[in-house]
């Protein structure tokens, strides 16, 4: 059963916590105002995808969850290429997922940032998949614009065809996106080639590519860093990869 949660009280009951009231309520209102949170999209057949990880829609998975190609009937997503990012959540991970949604929403209108189109909550009641551990409460599905490849794959594909000039333009566009990110007092904190996704532009007769920043999963809003607890939380989420450029 997939549904939105109508109130922070219902979320507390489902997750047996009182810790997330203000954050959830704020994000819920913003999602509803933006027309992004709808009820029963999967159950009603408005979101279609093949959840089989050996199927044609499966793209990949990692610590964040699984990604599938999908389609959404109606709304402003008609004709758009979309993916569904399916994230298992429980009490310990929900706050980070909500943070990712909040940070993405702050940048959703920027041409060089991947946009979230819809958010759907699927709760495990009597329909828990056999392969999913009891520790999880359900899935949060993020419907996002589909990109064609990441920057690493792009560099490999165009290595012998004027890559240096292409990268100059790409880095400038990424810098433009980061400038707006920082103006909104956000720190992305995980800038790396795998989180710069490339989209083939349809607005030009010549082949043209647009970079888009992705994965705001460990991003931080500076306004949230007033307390010592928040600073400790930021330190605990420091990216471990030495190849990551912080920005």
Start-to-end CA span in the chain (Å): 38
- For the chain, percent of residues with pLDDT exceeding 70: 66
Q: Flag whether pLDDT at 233 surpasses 70.
A: no
57 versus 100: the higher-pLDDT residue is: 57
Confidence of residue 146 (pLDDT cuts 50, 70, 90): very high
- For the chain, percent of residues with pLDDT exceeding 90: 26
Confidence at residue 175, expressed as pLDDT on a 0 to 100 scale? 95
Counting runs of H as helices and runs of E as strands, what totals does the chain give?
6, 11
Minimal CA–CA distance to 89: which of 121, 49, 131, 59? 121
Q: What are the backbone dihedrals phi and psi of residue 144, each rounded to the nearest 5 degrees, phi first?
A: -130, 160
Confidence at residue 194, expressed as pLDDT on a 0 to 100 scale? 92
Q: Flag whether pLDDT at 4 surpasses 60.
A: no
SS3 197: strand
Confidence at residue 14, expressed as pLDDT on a 0 to 100 scale? 46
Confidence at residue 17, expressed as pLDDT on a 0 to 100 scale? 41
Structure tokens at 79: 């004709």
Within its chain, how far is the Cα of 63 from the centroid?
13
DSSP assignment of 168-184: HHHHHHHHHHHHHHHHT
pLDDT digits (tens, 9 = 90+) for 100-112: 888 888 888 889 9
With tokens 């993405």, the residue in question is: 104
| Number of Cβ atoms within 10 Å of the Cβ of 198 | 21
The whole-number average pLDDT for the span 126-154 is 86
pLDDT digits (tens, 9 = 90+) for 30-46: 666 655 565 556 666 77
* pTM for the model: 0.72
Which are the contacts of 44, defined by CB distance < 8 A and separation ≥ 6? none
Q: Flag whether pLDDT at 72 surpasses 80.
A: yes
């Amino acid at each position: 059963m997939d549904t939105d949660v109508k109130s922070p009280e219902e979320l507390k009951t489902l997750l047996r916590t009182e810790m997330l009231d203000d954050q959830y309520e704020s994000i819920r209102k913003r999602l509803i105002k933006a027309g992004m949170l709808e009820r029963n999209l999967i159950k009603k057949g408005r979101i279609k995808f093949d959840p089989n990880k050996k199927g044609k829609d499966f793209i990949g998975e990692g610590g964040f969850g699984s990604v599938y190609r999908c389609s959404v009937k109606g709304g402003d997503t008609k004709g758009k290429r979309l993916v569904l990012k399916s994230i298992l959540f429980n009490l310990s991970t929900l706050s980070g997922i909500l943070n990712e949604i909040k940070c993405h929403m702050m940048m959703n209108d920027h041409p060089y940032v991947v946009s979230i189109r819809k958010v759907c909550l699927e709760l495990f009641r009597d329909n828990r998949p056999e392969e999913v551990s009891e520790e999880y409460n359900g899935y949060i599905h993020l419907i996002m614009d589909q990109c064609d490849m990441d920057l690493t794959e792009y560099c490999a594909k165009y290595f012998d065809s004027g890559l240096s000039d292409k990268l100059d333009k790409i880095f400038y566009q990424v810098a433009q996106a980061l400038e707006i990110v920082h103006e909104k007092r956000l720190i992305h904190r995980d800038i790396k080639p795998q989180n710069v996704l490339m989209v083939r532009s349809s607005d030009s007769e010549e082949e043209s590519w647009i970079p888009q920043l992705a994965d705001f999963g460990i991003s931080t809003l500076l306004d949230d860093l007033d307390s010592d607890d928040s600073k400790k939380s930021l330190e605990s989420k420091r990216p471990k990869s030495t190849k990551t450029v912080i920005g």
